[in-house]
Amino acid sequence: MIRRILIFAGFCLFSFIVFSQSEMKEVKLTPLEKYVIEDKGTEHPFTGDYWNHYEDGSYHCKRCDALLYRSDDKFDSRCGWPSFDDEVEGAIKRQTDADGYRTEILCANCDAHLGHVFEGEGFTDKNVRHCVNSVSLNFIPQQEKETPKTETAIFASGCFWGTEYHFSKKKGVISTTVGYTGGDLENPDYRLVCTGKTGHVEAVKVVFDPSLVSYRDLVVLFFETHDFTQTNGQGPDIGTQYLSRIFYFSDAQKEVAEKTIRYLEERKDYDVATKVMPAVKFYDAEDYHQDYYDKKGSTPYCHIWRPIF
């Protein structure tokens, strides 16, 4: 009970950590790449592949292939290293450099050293310069991208009104649909699901652009917007139709979800009640349930965002 109160009160204040490395690949680094990425060295200016490179595409971490920067945010600072005035949301981690005054930037997914970030130099309107080593990056030309345009995820975290509200506000989410899934009854409706006897849970189907938001980011949002330790429902909504569930569409989604739960249990000492299950048929809920809080002009009462990672 004490833990549940703390969760809903939002008193768990932790720094954001991107903990899942499910997308990490085994990469053999050259001596120079190891010197920069692992030993936090710096390549000589004007020697890297990308300091004067302006082709359309995206820049990824050399070690784990995580998306870090886009070509639209690259600019010529004439410093001899690739310069960016913005980053992909959640892709970069900052920490004080060993010298005690500069700010080091690292890949948030695998902690690879990238370089340093500087502010107040006036190069662009954003007034920020990510000074990155070329050897820390891989470039993927725009025409060669193989990332699918959309991906689908399904989450259940109690009353689907509140679950949908938070996912619909997330950058990179294309659409959200509330509905019912996980049960055996064909074509269930709200009245039947509310009996708790159909096996369905109230859920939200999320269609998203993986080039703008990762599945891992959505899983983090899922856990940060409900009490995943509650075993009999969500907040005051009690019943099997309100249980915490993640329905996966691929082995990759399953791995991310399960790794997240292990992190919460082993590193944060939570008793996680969330179950990870294969996606089954999803039935759209009635029209009046869709975008409920936007139509009502209010916010959820039992789905409150709080940082836990």
Side-chain-side CA neighbours of 284 within 13 Å: the count stands at: 7
Pair 138, 157 in one domain: no
Q: Is residue 228 in a domain? A: yes
Inter-residue contact 256 to 216 (CB < 8 Å): yes
**Residue after which a domain boundary falls, among 144, 165, 182:** 144
Whether residue 7 has pLDDT greater than 70: no
Identify whether 72 is part of a domain: yes
Q: Provide the pLDDT for residue 146.
A: 52
Which of 144, 162, 192 is the C-terminal boundary of a domain?
144
Of 125, 144, 163, the position where a domain reaches its end is: 144
Looking at the fold, whether 91 and 102 belong to one and the same domain comes out as yes
Residue whose C-alpha is closest to residue 161's, from 204, 120, 118, 127: 204
Q: How many domains does the chain have?
A: 2
Whether residue 57 is contained in a domain is answered as yes
The verdict on residue 157 lying in a domain is yes
pLDDT digits (tens, 9 = 90+) for 190-230: 999 999 999 999 999 999 999 899 999 999 999 999 999 99
Same domain for 151 and 108: no
Active site residue 110: no
Q: Is residue 20 a part of any domain in this protein?
A: no
Domain contains 19: no
CATH of residue 254:
3.30.1060.10
Same domain, 171 and 271: yes
- Quote the pLDDT of residue 21: 38
Residue 187 shares a structural domain with residue 206: yes
Partners of 92 in the β-ladder: 107
Is the same domain home to 282 and 159? Answer: yes
Which is higher by pLDDT, 12 or 291? Answer: 291
Same domain, 164 and 113: no
- The three-class DSSP label of residue 38 is coil
pLDDT confidence tier of residue 48, bands split at 50, 70 and 90: very high
What residues does 236 pair with on adjacent strands?
none
Residue 221 near residue 162, CB atoms below 8 Å:
no
Q: Check residue 14 and give its pLDDT.
A: 34
Cα–Cα distance for residue pair 178/35, rounded to 1 Å: 49
Q: Is 131 a catalytic residue?
A: yes
Domain identity same for 151 and 290: yes
pTM of the model: 0.55
- C-alpha distances (whole Å) from 253 to each of 40, 60, 116, 258, 260 are 32, 20, 32, 9, 11
| pLDDT surpassing 60 at residue 131 | yes
For the ranges 87-91, 155-159, 205-209, the lowest mean pLDDT is seen at 87-91
Q: Please check whether residues 137 and 209 belong to one and the same domain.
A: no
Catalytic residue among 12, 159, 194, 302: 159
Whether residue 291 sits in one domain with residue 191? yes
Tens-digit pLDDT profile for residues 263-304: 999 999 999 999 999 999 999 999 999 999 999 899 888 899
Helices within the chain (DSSP H only): 2-9, 31-37, 160-168, 190-193, 215-224, 251-266, 292-296
Summarised one tens digit per residue, pLDDT across range 160-193 is 999 999 999 999 999 999 999 999 999 999 999 9
Quick one: 157 and 205 in the same domain?
yes
Comparing 200 with 149, which gets the higher pLDDT?
A: 200
Cβ neighbours for 143, distance < 8 A, ≥ 6 positions apart: none
Question: What does the alpha-carbon distance between residue 85 and residue 93 come to, in Å, rounded to a whole number?
Answer: 15
Structure tokens at 14: 């932790």
Q: Any alpha helices (H) in 103-248, and if so which ranges?
A: 160-168, 190-193, 215-224
Residue in 79, 131, 194, 302 annotated catalytic:
131
> In this structure, are 284 and 177 located in the same domain?
yes
Say how far apart CA 75 and CA 170 lie, in whole Å: 27
Q: What is the mean pLDDT of residues 116-143?
A: 94
Residue 26 falls within a domain, yes or no?
A: no
pLDDT at 26: 52
Would 262 be classed as within a structural domain?
A: yes
Give the residue numbers spanning the domain of 89: 31-144
Spell out the residues 6+ positions from residue 7 whose beta carbon is closer than 8 angstroms to its own.
227, 229, 306, 308
What CATH number corresponds to the domain at position 110? 2.170.150.20
